[in-house]
A and B are shown apart, each in its own frame.
Chain A
Amino acid sequence: MSNKIDHSMSLATPDALNITTKQKIALATGLVGLFILLLAVFNVDFPNRAVFLAISLGLVIGGTVVYSREAYLTKLEGIKNDGAWFKSISSRGVLGWALGVFLTTFYIVLYFFPKYLGLGVDGAANTGLVALFDPLSNLLSGNNASQWFVYGTLYTVAILAFGYKFMLKYRHNRYQQLRTASVMFFQTAFAFVIPELMARLNSDDFSLPYNDLKNMWPLNYYAFDQWRVDQFINAQTVGLFFLILGVVMIFVISPFLTYKYGKRWYCSWVCGCGGLAETAGDAFRHLSDKGTKAWKLERWMINSVLVFSVVTTVAVISTYLGYDSEKYWFTKSVFLISIGVFLTVLLAGILYYKREELNKSAFKGAIGFYILTIAFLVFFSFFDLSQIKINASYFSFGLNQNSYNFDSALRSFYGFGIGSIFSGVIGTGFYPILGNRTWCRMGCPMATIMGIQQRLFSRFRITTNGGQCISCGNCSNSCEMGIDVRAYAQKGENIVRSSCVGCGVCSAVCPRGVLKLENDSMDGRINPTEVLLGNDVDLMDLLNKN
């Protein structure tokens, strides 16, 4: 930001609510790019797919870049939220709903009807949209594209293009720029390019599963499915390394980083879901519900999903350990007992050492969810799940008549309900309606684990600057996780919430410099006060002592 007087610009700045001609052209360019993809969906057979794919993605990226430059570089550095609640697309207007319906439909087709995107069934060649991506897929992995490759490419393009936009929007804020650069890097390298290139290593006697290193269990709910574990074990040293790394990430690396920096190290610096939310979803962040009812729902929902994910994973693993144990290091009972002991020790430790920080509902919730989980463990240890059959027609309105083993039924139900519907269709499809972090807030089991740790055992907090808060509400408004940040700031209290992903936007938009994301000692991190800094010292002493 510079105050050097710029005489070239007219007195009347461009109308904030109407876009400039240049922006209109940029928007049209991007839409033409998308239109090429749409033509491909409708089976227009492009002569040179590589060229048309390049043109299409190039137009989308180019359009976004030009649009963003015109939007932000023509103005001084600063907070750029003018009209966020007036624009149709970002205030649940017609455009917002239209986009929501479009995205939701796209996800449904992607997950459940990939053949409409042109995926070749039973060895047939790809057609349509998927075929358009064949050249790029061949370039990277040597194989033809799948619907997931198409999705991965578009996902990465979205993070890169809108990441660039976000970096311009916050060009005065290095925290925002660095973490955006970070999610752009992790998406492109770890989630997209590296796994595709690694597929080239696969041969007849060596194969690794598609492996996004940063995608940990339980966010990656299929991490310990038998086919995957088998592939890792069969891939010798490299495979074992990845398998062990996966476990070490869960039990060592993630807890360590979460202790030092809070869950933001993952959620807003590394994660792909977070990456999309922070870039393409940024324009919708203020739409999250800040009410206490939503918070209540969140606590039930997200903890239930975690239990569901633990139970499912344990069911799946214990089943294949049950009939195939000589292949692995564990037997079924050793596995179940160690999980039970681990959870018991963990809960007992929390209840004992953190008893002062837990309120009644947290206490009750923890015990309830624990008992539920243990009950499932006991159930799994007495029954052979592969012998219990579940008829899918009860759960699929009769669409699916097959009957499944209990463990795979649970696993498919999780994959369908949580993996596809919650994280995809609702989580991303509903960006323009529910805000950009619905999945992260209400559903992500990985976020739950790190959140519990962040609340109880982390150096991270958002510090409130003494008595400087004016209760304006910009912080709460821009919190994508629906935290009522102001409720804490106006009491002079630090914000220590399990759901906070540390995006730092509350701090950025605060007009009075009240909020700062920090890692510091755990002592005095949570600091409720009755009288704020700046008042009579005696009064503060009198009332703040408890």
Chain B
Amino acid sequence: MEHVVIIGNGISGVTVARHIRKNSNKKITIVSAETDYFFSRTALMYIYMGHMKFEHTQPYENSFWKKNNIELKKGFVKSIETASKTLQFAEGDSLQYDKLVIATGSKPNKFGWPGQDLEGAQGLYSKQDLDSIERNAPDNKICKRAVIVGGGLIGIELAEMLNSRSIPVTFLVRENSFWNGVLPEGESAMINRHIKNHHIDLRLGFNLKEIKSDENGKVKSIVITETGEEIDCNVVGLTAGVSPNIDFLKSSTIEINRGVLVNRHLETNIPDVYAIGDCAEQRDSGIGERRPIEAVWYTGRMMGETLAQTICGNRIEYKPGHWFNSAKFLDIEYQTYGWVYAKPRENEAHFHWKHEDDTKCITVCYDTTNNTFLGINTFGIRMRHEIFDRWLTEKRDVDYVMKNLPQANFDPEFYKHFEKDILAAYTNQLQTA
């Protein structure tokens, strides 16, 4: 019986395991050094905030794995010998595989800041990161202030977490507006205001120079590059993005760049070795407009769904459908379907609508040469994935999309609808343009 070993028990590794089990009776082992069982990484914040306990973030009951004959091994893979198809563990033991899936995810970026490895300086990615923040910032007496460095999705989640325990937060963002490398100006500005309304000290356009240590090797303060200002704090959140967690592969024959290099079939340069999820890097170029490395929950899952087919003998290419994503910025939900860039590219235009209460807005991107709808960002209004997926496939024009927007509404029943206002604003803009 063929033995498939999967390194990493995140969404990618677990999805590929589940789908292999659905389609075959191969022996499956999932290896993880992080936790005994799969948990939802995206829910770590809710444990710290007291909405859930750790066990609630585990999508499957502990008996699920045995029932589905999926073996779980706790251990840290130190190296891979591809010639003998053997994994060497830091604990000293080893494991043979027939097929190997690398799904080790990401690690927080650290850009060589002085003091970045002090106790109290950390990212927010793993269960260990959660344990560490619980240790260093249990309340606002032990952690009098926290500084977060890096204005992305994890940064704002960390800010929300600390805020829930009344720990004052200073949020250093390198850009001059929150996440404006991704979000168009109007949206980004709205989120800036929302962050400030939560009494988070948002500092736009500032960089971290260094983290200073106290006599016990713990974080004492940080210094801002631009102003030289020193801010006393007990925790520093390093949330300036993530990169593939593949240091253990450096000595192996598996080809890596920033991530593990794979072809469109998610195969590495070594036969029977595959890589999926955050740690995989498309060898030639990103697929379509996608980046070569996609550190997104959904893409990890899709790669898992696809690779299971290949491993079970139905070799198929990884061809993700239309881009979609979602996030939540404190109280404002965000969804995106198709492509909306921060600034319209050539032959593109944006239509932006914002509600007067400053918590809801949408941006629609379309092609100015033929009016084709290209994508939408929506804040504070839920929309249907299925409808936009269909409209993108059908290459609907933007007028059609704007007129049929009510079809896409996914807000709970009895919510106020804004499609009329949006359409009026859209029509009005066309007339004045």
Chain B 301-332 residues near chain A, CB threshold 8 A = 301-302, 305-306, 309, 316-322, 324, 326-328, 330-331
Q: A3–B330 contact, CB under 8 A?
A: no
Q: Max chain A CB contacts within 10 Å: which of B59, B383, B414?
A: B59
* B415 in the interface (beta carbon within 8 A): yes
Q: Distance (Å) between the CB of A18 and the closest chain B CB?
A: 9
Please count how many residues in chain A sit with their CB below 8 Å of the partner chain's CB atoms.
70
| B103 → A minimal CB distance (Å) | 15
| Interchain CB contact under 8 A, B359 and A472 | no
B40 x A178 contact (CB < 8 A): no
**B414 to nearest A CB, angstroms?**
4
Give the residue of A12, A85, A537 whose beta carbon is less than 8 angstroms from that of B52: A85
Determine if A84 and B11 form an interchain contact, defined as CB atoms under 8 angstroms apart.
no
In the bound complex, CA of A516 to CA of B317 (Å)? 33
A477 within 8 A of B: yes
Q: Judge if B386 is at the interface, Cβ distance under 8 Å.
A: yes
Check A471 for interface membership: any CB of B closer than 8 A. Answer: yes
Please pick, from B46, B163, B412, the residue contacting A517 in the complex, using a CB distance under 8 A. B412
B65: CB under 8 A from chain A?
Answer: no
Residues of chain B within 8 A (CB-CB) of A87 are 50
Chain A residues with CB below 8 A from B99, complex form: none
Using Cβ atoms and an 8 Å threshold, which residues of chain A touch B66? Answer: none
Interface: A5 (CB within 8 A):
yes
Q: Tell me if A84 and B326 are in contact (CB < 8 A).
A: no
Complex: chain B residue closest to A4, CB-CB: B358
Q: Which of A3, A512, A518 has the most CB atoms of chain B within a 10 A radius of its CB?
A: A3
A512 engages B326 (CB within 8 Å): yes
Check if A508 sits within 8 Å of B50, measured CB to CB.
no
Choice from B199, B306, B410 contacting A516 with Cβ under 8 Å: B410
Also in contact, A471 and B389, with CB within 8 A (given A85-B51, A530-B22): no
A5 touches B57 (CB 8 A): no
Chain A residue, CB-CB nearest to B157? A511
B56 close to A (CB within 8 Å) = yes
A12 touches B168 (CB 8 A): yes
Which one, A10, A76, A175, contacts B415 given CB within 8 A? A175
Answer whether residue A81 sits at the interface, using C-beta atoms and an 8 A cutoff: yes
Once bound together, how far apart are the Cα atoms of A476 and B40, in whole Å? 13
Selected from A9, A16, A490, A534, the residue in CB contact (under 8 A) with B164 is A16
User: What separation, in Å, do the CA atoms of A466 and B335 have in the docked complex?
Assistant: 12
In the complex, are the beta carbons of A1 and B359 less than 8 A apart?
yes
**Chain A residues whose C-beta falls within 8 Å of the C-beta of B163 in the assembled complex:** 13
Residues of A within 8 A of B415 (CB): 173-175
In A56-110, the 8 Å CB interface with B consists of 76-79, 81-87
> How far is A539 from B331 in the complex, measured between Cα atoms in Å?
36
Bound form: Cα–Cα A86–B317 in Å: 47
Distance, CA A5 to CA B327, complexed state (A): 23
Overall SS of chain A's interface: loop
A513 at the interface (CB under 8 A from B): yes
> A474, B59: Cβ atoms under 8 Å?
no
Choice from B40, B197, B382 contacting A472 with Cβ under 8 Å: B40
Can you list, as one digit per residue, whether each of A464-484 has a CB less than 8 Å from chain B (1) or not (0)?
A: 011110111110110000000
Given A513-B410, A534-B324, do A468 and B359 touch, yes or no (CB 8 Å)? no
Within 8 A of A (CB), among B22-52: 22, 40, 42-43, 46, 49-52
Quick check: is A6 within 8 A (CB to CB) of the other chain?
A: yes
A5 close to B197 (CB less than 8 A)? yes
A473 touches B59 (CB 8 A): yes
Q: Which of A6, A12, A84, A535 has the most CB of B within 10 A?
A: A535
Measured CB to CB, the closest approach of chain B to A399, in angstroms, equals 42
- Residue B53, interface by CB 8 Å: yes
What's the Cα separation between A123 and B409 when bound, in Å? 62
Cβ-neighbour of A178 out of B56, B59, B335, B414 (below 8 A): B414
Contacts of A504 in B (CB 8 A): 412-413
Closest Cβ of chain B to A26, distance in Å, is 20
Q: Which listed residue, A82, A466, A512, A539, touches B50 by the CB 8 Å rule? A: A82
Are B330's CB and A78's CB within 8 A? yes
Q: Within the complex, which residue of B42, B196, B331, B416 is in contact with A5, where a contact is CB–CB below 8 Å? A: B196
Q: Are the CB atoms of A517 and B413 closer together than 8 Å?
A: yes
Instruction: Judge whether A213 is part of the interface by a CB distance below 8 angstroms.
Output: no
Q: A470–B43 Cα gap in the complex (Å)?
A: 8
Q: Does residue B194 face the partner (Cβ distance < 8 Å to A)?
A: yes
A472 in contact with B49 given A1-B357, A3-B194, A466-B386 (CB within 8 Å): no
- Closest CB of chain A to B431's CB: distance in Å? 29
Q: Is the CB of B22 within 8 A of A534?
A: no
Contacts of B46 in A (CB 8 A): 472-474
Are A13 and B359 in contact (CB-based, < 8 A)? Answer: no
Q: Does A372 contact B (CB under 8 A)?
A: no
Question: Is the CB–CB distance between A516 and B166 below 8 Å?
Answer: no
- Please give, as numbers and ranges, the residues of chain B lying within 8 Å of A417 by CB-CB distance: none
Chain A residues contacting B317 (CB-CB under 8 Å) are 536
Most chain A beta-carbon neighbours within 10 Å: one of B56, B194, B317, B318: B56
Cβ of A486 under 8 Å from chain B: yes
Q: Which of A79, A83, A174, A536 contacts B412 (CB 8 A)?
A: A174
Q: How far, in whole Å, are A470 and B50 apart by their CA atoms in the complex?
A: 19
> Min CB distance, B61 to chain A, in Å?
6
How far, in Å, is B297 (CB) from chain A's closest CB?
Answer: 5
A531, B40: Cα distance in complex, Å: 19
Once bound together, how far apart are the Cα atoms of A3 and B200, in whole Å? 13
**With an 8 A cutoff between CB atoms, is A532 at the interface?**
yes
B294 to chain A, nearest CB (A): 12
B59 A467 Cβ-Cβ under 8 A: no
A38 interface residue per 8 A CB criterion: no
Q: Is the CB of B357 within 8 A of A512?
A: no
Query: Could you tell me the distance between the alpha carbons of A80 and B205 in the complex, rounded to whole angstroms?
Result: 31
In Å, the complex CA distance between A463 and B387 comes to: 13
Cross-chain contact A537 with B412 (CB below 8 angstroms): no
In the bound assembly, the distance between CA atoms of A9 and B197 in angstroms comes to: 9
Cα of A76 to Cα of B194 in the assembled complex, Å: 10
Do the beta carbons of B201 and A11 come within 8 Å of each other?
yes
Which of A10, A507, A533 makes the CB contact (< 8 A) with B199? A10
Q: In the complex, which residues of chain A have a beta carbon less than 8 angstroms from the beta carbon of B53?
A: 85
With an 8 A cutoff between CB atoms, is A15 at the interface?
yes
A349 at the interface (CB under 8 A from B): no
Task: Say yes or no: is A292 at the interface (Cβ < 8 Å to chain B).
Answer: yes
Asked whether A536 lies within 8 Å of B165 as measured between CB atoms, the reply is no
A128 shortest CB reach to chain B, Å = 41
B161-203 Cβ-contact flags toward A at 8 Å (1 or 0): 0011110100000000000000000000010011011110100
A241 to B64, CA, bound (A): 54
* Contact status B165-A17, CB under 8 Å: yes
Residue of A nearest to B163 (CB): A13
Q: How far is the CA of A9 from the CA of B199 in the complex (A)?
A: 8
Is A546 engaged at the interface, CB distance under 8 Å to the other chain? no
Distance (whole angstroms) from the CB of B288 to the closest CB of chain A? 12
A537 (CB) vs chain B CBs: closest residue: B321
Determine the distance from Cα of A490 to Cα of B38 in the docked complex, in whole angstroms.
Answer: 14
Q: Given A82-B50, A468-B324, are A534 and B302 also a contact pair (CB < 8 Å)?
A: yes
Answer yes or no: B333 CB below 8 A from chain A CBs: yes
Q: Does A47 contact B (CB under 8 A)?
A: no
**Residues of the B chain whose Cβ atoms lie less than 8 Å from the Cβ of A536:** 302, 306, 316-321
7 A-B pairs whose Cβ atoms sit less than 8 Å apart in the complex: A13-B163, A84-B50, A463-B410, A513-B333, A516-B382, A533-B321, A535-B306
* Residues in chain A within 8 A of chain B (CB atoms): 1-6, 9-17, 76-79, 81-87, 172-175, 178, 286, 291-292, 463, 465-468, 470-474, 476-477, 486-487, 490, 504, 507-509, 511-513, 516-518, 530-540
Q: Which residues of B contact A (CB under 8 A)?
A: 11, 19, 22, 40, 42-43, 46, 49-53, 56-59, 61, 139-140, 163-166, 168, 190, 193-194, 196-199, 201, 297-298, 301-302, 305-306, 309, 316-322, 324, 326-328, 330-331, 333, 335, 357-359, 382-386, 389, 393, 410-416
Given contacts A463-B410, A466-B324, A539-B316, 17 further A-B contacts (CB under 8 A): A4-B358, A5-B196, A11-B168, A11-B199, A13-B163, A15-B139, A82-B51, A85-B51, A174-B413, A291-B61, A465-B382, A471-B11, A474-B51, A530-B19, A532-B301, A536-B317, A537-B321
Closest CB pairs A-B (n = 4): A466-B385, A78-B331, A3-B358, A513-B382
